[in-house]
Amino acid sequence: MPPIGEMIRESQIWKSIFRHPMPTDRRNRIVVMLTNFFLHLHPVSIKKQGIALSYTWCMGGVTFFLFLVETVTGVLLMFYYRPTLEWAYNDILALRDVTSLGILREIHRWGAHAMVITVWLHMYRVFLTGSYKPPREFNWVIGVILLLLTLLLSFTGYLLPWDQLAIWAITVGSNMARATPVLGYEGPGAPLLSVDGLDMITSASDARFGLLGARFVGEETLNRFYVLHCVAIPLGVSLLLAIHFWRVRKDGGISGPL
């Protein structure tokens, strides 16, 4: 009888999933890159320098991986969590005390912190190697938006446990929107927007209200941040990531000396 591994690899099921044999020779190593959906993001061959850990620090890759980890653990957390004043805190409490696989929330939270750090390090690397220079200018711009979205993802998630740490951090972090020029009711120029002595920009119609859905951090905010955190921002990040990776390829692969 042939070894069990070989039997599996020769089976019809295996062959129907993987469209190429185990890549052990040069031909198959090339074929695997071209025919596998996930691998085809990569080129087939690459300059040795472009994959050196000491050059890229793999920081973009690690950031992407952390994004995936956050997505998976985030979906699992959503099974347990209801974004209402009645349940939010208790659900998190139960998640800690009752649920099995008790470190789900830990992985999600520390992964989020780690992602903020790795995205900075990635930007730092890209700057230090001058990789934003032509032809990669626009990919840097997309990167900056990704950085912003990463911070906003983290920020909106911070509110969800609905404990003291959460609401006060969000209160402090969003208070400044009150002072948006013209559009915040404590901002410079806001009094200009008044019609017949009636202020258009009030605490119930200004930029901060738009962000929080209320005059202070309350249930509307929780709902708003929940939707932003779980749906809107991840979708935005996914779209931009697709463009980001596509541009890495189209701009000639990982940067290197000419």
Interactions with ligand HEM, residue window 213-252 (CB under 6 A): 241, 244, 248
What character string, x for contact with ligand HEM (CB under 6 A) and - otherwise, covers 131-160?
A: xx---x--xx--xx-xx--x----------
Strand partners of residue 199: 194
Q: Does 220 bind another protein (CB under 8 A)?
A: no
Report 98-127 residues binding ligand HEM (CB under 6 A).
119, 122-123, 126
The single residue among 4, 13, 53, 198 that binds another protein, judged by CB under 8 A, is 53
Minimum Å gap between C-beta 115 and ligand HEM is 7
Q: Each residue of 196-215: b (16+ CB within 10 Å) or e? A: eeeeebeeeebbbbebbebb
CA–CA separation, 208 and 201 (whole Å): 11
DSSP 8-state assignment for residue 194: E
Return the number of the residue (7 or 19) whose C-beta is nearest another protein.
Answer: 19
The single residue among 67, 81, 155, 209 that binds another protein, judged by CB under 8 A, is 155
The single residue among 166, 212, 230, 233 that binds another protein, judged by CB under 8 A, is 166
Which of another protein, ligand HEM, none interacts with 209 (beta carbon under 5 to 8 A by kind)? none
Report CA dihedral (73, 74, 77, 83) to the nearest 10 degrees: 170
Which of ligand HEM, another protein, none interacts with 114 (beta carbon under 5 to 8 A by kind)? another protein
CA–CA separation, 95 and 57 (whole Å): 35
Q: Does 133 bind another protein (CB under 8 A)?
A: yes
CA–CA separation, 189 and 46 (whole Å): 55
Minimum Å gap between C-beta 140 and ligand HEM is 4
Q: Are 230 and 118 in contact (CB under 8 A)?
A: no
The single residue among 9, 18, 21, 42 that binds another protein, judged by CB under 8 A, is 42
CA–CA separation, 165 and 169 (whole Å): 6
